[in-house]
Amino acid sequence: MMLAFDFPETDISCEARFLTTQPAQALTMLNSDWMQMQARNLFARIKLEVGDDLAAQTRRALELCISREPLDEDVDELMALTNRLVNEHNLEQSKAREAMCLVALNLNQFLYLD
């Protein structure tokens, strides 16, 4: 994870991290075991905080990831995703919701500070 995101050499001083944007980072953020775990943890936390309602869960996921009031369109988008995954792709409800959390963790708004 660190290497994918430009972990600097530790034997020379690094006044400012040099940043790259690479498809390998996208692959790590989507596919790695570690991110799967983070998505699961996020879902567990959300469930504890707001219960089982999908709308509340998606809103909370976005709130946690982007640290501000989410757009209604974005909440709806994540809800629609979850429902599509369950209805069209036959994912188990909990797996679909974890996937929703993974998407939230992959948002540009999560990775970049404005």
Partner 1 sequence: MSNKKQNRDFCGRVRREFLWQTGAGFGAVALSSLLEADGFFGSKAMGDDNLSSANPLAVKPPHFAPKAKSVIFLFMYGGPSHIDTFDEKPDMNGKDGQTITVKTFGRGGHRNQGRIVEPRWKFKKYGECGKSVSDLFPNLGTCVDDIAFLHSMTADSPIHGSAMLMMNSGKILSGSPALGSWVNYGLGTVNQNLPGFVVMLDPTGGPISGAKNWSSGYMPATYAGTVLRSKGTPILDLTPPEGTSREVQRTMLDTLGEINGRHLSSNAENADLAARISSYELAYKMQEHAPEATDLSDEDEETTKLYGLDNPKTEDFARRCMIARRLVERGVRCIQLYSGGNHNDANWDAHGDLEKNHNKHAGATDQPIAALLKDLKRRGMLDSTLVVWGGEFGRQPTAEYAKGTGRDHNSYGFTMWMAGGGIKGGVSVGSTDELGSTAVEKPLHVKNLHATILNQLGLDPNRLSYFYSGLDQKLVGVEHVDPIQDVIA
Q: Residue 46 or 104: which CB sits closer to partner 1?
A: 104
CB of 101 to partner 1, least distance (A): 11
**Residue 44 lies near partner 1 (rule: CB under 8 A):** no
CB-based contacts of 88: which residues, under 8 Å, 6+ apart? none
Q: Residue 56 or 107: which CB sits closer to partner 1?
A: 107
Give CA separation, 27 vs 4, 21, 35, 102, in Å.
Answer: 9, 12, 10, 12
**Residue 27 lies near partner 1 (rule: CB under 8 A):** yes
Among 10, 13, 21, 72, contact with partner 1 (rule: CB under 8 A) = 21
CB of 6 to partner 1, least distance (A): 6
**Residue 48 lies near partner 1 (rule: CB under 8 A):** no
Distance CA 60, CA 50 (A): 7
Among 2, 13, 20, 48, contact with partner 1 (rule: CB under 8 A) = 20
C-beta contacts of 27-32 below 8 A and 24+ residues apart: 28/1, 28/4, 29/105, 29/106, 30/102, 30/106, 32/1
**Residue 91 lies near partner 1 (rule: CB under 8 A):** yes
